[in-house]
Copies of this chain bind each other. A is one copy, B any other.
């Protein structure tokens, strides 16, 4: 498709320029873009209103309209997000190691930008400025493909960013938006291997599955989370209740929220009524197995599917196990390998859980809600990887770089 080839080829050219732009110029660009968003906030709000009116006409759910909506405060937050990125250390250019080989070759490994990053996302317009900021800081050109619901808002934001870059004498194609939101254009984008180095989908499970299934461009799979809290026989009950409450209810619709409880049978009689009481007070329904229901008859029955569900709602599953081995087996079978936590005071159980659970983040005595770039101290986050290649867990600036070997010789040839 000529339309996408043009976008890809312009992005590749911009990436070449960004690769040698340097930290000072990149930070200068971020500052100008940050200011331009504030200066042009009326234009953004006007275009956002067009999207919102259309969404209301189409009968969009209130919670989704909220995600789509911007106001002065949210635009200021977008703008401040870019200023925050200026303050982060730029990983590009660092030589991680440099060693001399017996033949005298000096072989170094240097961090460099990925090149061109594609982002496919849904209706949150704040992703537009966020993703640009992180990609630009790491010297990558970004091609954005947002949802049709937010198209007017996205066009406004991208127009402002490109104008600010151009005025700063920086390649405006550092950011491009695919304005044609037809599904087939997105599918074609997923096969643009010649121009796109990495594709990062950000959105619900359906979007992510579609990208994984259709893309020939390498994908970083982000985020569905069926996160477990396992309450061991040696758990502190108060700590367990506080952590479960926090992990389940502090924010319902996020990938690091707890969706599944696992409780050791030895403490079931005492603990399960307490956790029922705590969660019921917040209108959270527990769906448990027969043993859990035997202890507390207000627990609803769980089906096999419940153990694999990411509810993102006021529901949690509960499974009773007879040993830490059974707990680990259950979790490794049903988890999406995002974040899992054990509550225990037993040293060996804590270490066993850390060693044997296969997930991006494995916790002892803490809430799963901490799996987040900000909470991990990365300053910003482009998403949470649930795959094992390249980056796992919260992805900060480093995940937007690759390495290349730089070799210094003086005439070496291979014997």
Q: How far is the CA of A356 from the CA of B403 in the complex (A)?
A: 13
Q: How large is the interface on A (under 10, 10 to 19, 20 to 34, 35 or more residues)?
A: 35 or more
Q: What is the CB-to-nearest-CB distance from A282 to chain B, in angstroms, rounded to a whole number?
A: 14
A114 touches B411 (CB 8 A): no
Residues of B within 8 A of A245 (CB): 413
Q: How far is the CA of A404 from the CA of B359 in the complex (A)?
A: 7
A413 touches B220 (CB 8 A): no
Contact of A404 among B112, B332, B364, B393 (CB under 8 A): B393
A407 touches B197 (CB 8 A): no
B362 touches A414 (CB 8 A): no
Number of copies: 2
Contact of A218 among B219, B243, B356, B359 (CB under 8 A): B219
The answer to whether A363 and B115 touch (CB under 8 A), given A198-B389, A356-B20, A413-B246, is no
A16 touches B332 (CB 8 A): yes
Listed stretches A73-81, A269-277, A366-374; interface member: A366-374
Q: What is the CB-to-nearest-CB distance from A240 to chain B, in angstroms, rounded to a whole number?
A: 9
For A218, give the chain B residue with the smallest CB separation: B389
A367 touches B406 (CB 8 A): no
Q: What is the CB-to-nearest-CB distance from A198 to chain B, in angstroms, rounded to a whole number?
A: 6
Listed stretches A44-52, A99-107, A142-150; interface member: A99-107
B213 touches A216 (CB 8 A): yes
Contact flags A225-247 to B (C-beta < 8 A → 1, else 0): 00000000000100100110111
B20 touches A411 (CB 8 A): no
A354 within 8 A of B: yes
Q: What is the CB-to-nearest-CB distance from A375 to chain B, in angstroms, rounded to a whole number?
A: 7
6 residue pairs, one from A and one from B, having the closest CB atoms: A366-B409, A246-B413, A388-B402, A369-B414, A390-B390, A389-B390
Q: How far is the CA of A239 from the CA of B413 in the complex (A)?
A: 9
Contact flags A395-415 to B (C-beta < 8 A → 1, else 0): 000000011111111111110
A130 within 8 A of B: no
